[in-house]
Amino acid sequence: MTPISPDAVIGVIGAGTMGAGIAQVAAKAGHPVLLYDAFEGAAQKGFDGIKKGLNKLVERGKMAQADVDALLSRITLVNGLEAFAPARVVIEVIVERLDVKQSVFSQLEEICADDTILATNTSSISVTAIGSQLKRANNLVGMHFFNPAPIMKLVEVISGLDTDPNVADAIYELSARWGKKPVRAKSTPGFIVNRVARPFYAEGLRVLQEGGADEATIDAVIREAGNFRMGPFELMDLIGHDVNFAVTSSVFAAYFNDQRFLPSLIQQDLVNAGHLGRKSGRGFYNYSADAEKPTPATADTAPAPHHVTIEGDLGVAEPLVALIEQAGISVSRAKEGHGAILIGDTTLKLTNGQMTTVRSAEARNSNLIHFDLALDYTTSTRIAISAADQADNESLLKAIGLFQAIGKAVTVIDDVPGMIVMRTVAMLANEGFDAVNQQVCSEADVDIAMKGGVNYPFGPIEWANKVSLTVIQNVLDNLAAMYGEDRYRTSPLIRRKVAGGM
């Protein structure tokens, strides 16, 4: 198949926010664009939306009026599918219904040339299933953009069972030429982003369900320690619980009820109550004008210790040592040990996926305090800690005082396995590695997809490597032991890499 030329005609079916955005992207790249919507007036509304958005860019000095006029001149509104006969690529951005998509593509096969590429922007329906009713399923490929299409860089290029590799290559190259960051994936439930992202919501919901912390506190820890742009609860409120719950339920059903994708009863209740998030005025948070914004749990000021002992290597938490020294606290080091901060008879350790209470009992160390993972201990502004049930209050105050002395807001959470950031990152990495293990995509594409599609601060796989795969495996194994659930099974690829010293 010949590459798609820079002046090839691009067809877009569906002129909603996403369809109009894709039309804008293609026109900006220089292509003549045909835009169609089956609903009367919808194509004009989509075009007007493009124009309005571009005019705002002109007002801000980010785009010249001449360039806007040229871009808009390349978009033609058409009244029916017959107008797509000259299109080299037709991108479908319509309702998420298998029968409707199959019908539209079947009609296009009769209208367009034999080598016209038919692309679906579906986020949840199997590309293979869509192609099952087509005469030329080899020409069908997934081209999944993220909203808003003119801004978000990621495009998932999805190959169905019958997709010609040359067709996928052509769409990959086209996406890159449009300034996007394309990734390749097989047509499996959730593709990359909607599959790998499930634990971001699921683990926050699980911590909430078990009383580990409230929504505002979990969100704050995820943002201020994990450096995610939004916490899971504020993000679910933004997406809409009807949408988020439907995606989780769809992936769960598509994987034959694999417990790793189990939907949350908490979110189901919100959907049943009509508390859908921002769009309904209420979700996990209340968005009415007079509602008070909840604040995260933050510990009161405690005295800083005068001296600490560092036992062994703290691994990913090693930057804490320099921060402690900079705070004027005396530090001594002991080469022996398995990575701990000692303040008198109090022991602080990075969570290993166990309950703090269980690890304390096994180690016969009653005054054990766990601290959570941070993306960067040097720059993070908050840290979560949890005390063993056996620990005395003085030990908890020592831990609070230490972290406050190095400039952190301290959140004390209840004793839940893996805490908040650690269990979230471990499970995101686990799902990323499992997608690779199941030949859905490459390791590099997992990281590109999660950074480009949902703005994660690190790709899950590169983050796991930064923490250490041995640590991640240990956390996952301990989560599995604590819960006794298949949900926390460790990906075979992680085990293979750890065993191979990789």
Same domain, 21 and 168: yes
CA distances to 211, 301, 321, 332, 450 from 398, rounded to whole Å, are 24, 11, 16, 17, 38
Q: Give a yes or no: residue 479 inside a domain.
A: no
The tally of domains found in the chain comes to 3
Kindly report the number of other CB atoms within 10 A of residue 293's CB atom. Answer: 8
For 478, the token pair is 């301990």
Choosing from 126, 139, 194, 352, which is the catalytic residue? 194
* Same domain assignment for residues 393 and 259: no
| 255 and 183 part of one domain | no
Residue 353 phi, psi (nearest 5): 95, -15
**Angle, alpha carbons 140-145-151 (nearest 5°):** 150
31, 144, 241, 275: which is the annotated catalytic residue? 144
Residues 181 and 41 reside in one and the same domain: yes
Phi then psi for residue 159, to 5 deg, are: -100, 125
Same-domain check for residues 219 and 275 = yes
Alpha-carbon 446 to chain mean position:
10
Q: Are 250 and 124 a contacting pair, CB within 8 Å?
A: yes
Phi, psi of 81 (to 5 degrees): -65, -25
Extract the residue ranges of the chain whose pLDDT is less than 70. 1
Distance CA 436, CA 429 (A): 11
Collapsed DSSP state (helix, strand, coil) of residue 468? coil
Q: Is 215 a catalytic residue?
A: no
351: domain CATH number is 3.30.750.190
**What's the confidence (pLDDT) of residue 352?**
98
CATH number, residue 75:
3.40.50.720
Task: Return the amino acid letter for 230.
Answer: M
Domain limits for position 343: 307-412
pLDDT reported for residue 241: 96
Evaluate whether residue 434 is within a structural domain: no
Segment (H or E) for 90: strand 89-92
Q: Which of 31, 121, 123, 187 is catalytic?
A: 123
User: Rounded to whole angstroms, how far apart are CA atoms 74 and 47?
Assistant: 11
Are 87 and 108 contained in the same domain?
Answer: yes
Question: Among this protein's residues, is 82 annotated catalytic?
Answer: no
Q: How far is CA 211 from the centre of its chain?
A: 24
| Domain-embedded: residue 421 | no
pLDDT value of residue 1? 66
CA 90 to chain centre: 28
Domain end, chosen from 368, 391, 412, is at 412
194 is catalytic: yes
Output the domain CATH number for residue 271.
Answer: 1.10.1040.50
- Taking the whole predicted model, whether its pTM rises above 0.75 is answered as yes
- Nearest alpha-carbon partner for 263 in 242, 278, 281, 284: 242
Q: Are residues 326 and 238 in the same domain?
A: no
Strand 181-186's sheet: what is its strand order?
Answer: 75-77, 33-36, 10-13, 89-92, 117-120, 140-145, 154-159, 181-186
Q: Annotated catalytic, 393?
A: no
Shared-domain flag, residues 137 and 250: no
Domain end call among 348, 378, 412? 412
Alpha carbon distance 30, 252 (integer Å): 41
- Together in a domain, 26 and 142: yes
Beta strands in 395-441 (DSSP E): 409-412
Residues 156, 23 share a domain: yes
Within this chain, do residues 210 and 75 fall inside the same structural domain, yes or no?
no
In angstroms, how far apart are the furthest CA atoms of the chain? 80
Q: Is the residue at 454 inside a domain?
A: no
CA distances from 300 to 46, 100, 273, 394 (A): 52, 58, 36, 14
Q: Which two tokens stand for residue 101?
A: 């998509």
Active-site position among 92, 109, 126, 156: 156
Instruction: Flag whether 483 is in a domain.
Output: no
d(C-alpha 352, C-alpha 422), whole Å:
8
Per-residue model confidence as pLDDT tens digits over 207-262: 999 999 999 999 999 999 999 999 999 999 999 999 999 999 999 999 999 999 99
Residue 442 lies in a domain: no
Q: Is residue 429 part of a domain?
A: no
Strands (E), 108-207: 117-120, 140-145, 154-159, 181-186
Do 179 and 67 reside in the same domain of the chain? yes
Mark which of 373, 397, 412 sits at the end of a domain: 412
**Interval 60-101: pLDDT, tens:** 999 999 999 999 999 999 999 999 999 999 999 999 999 999
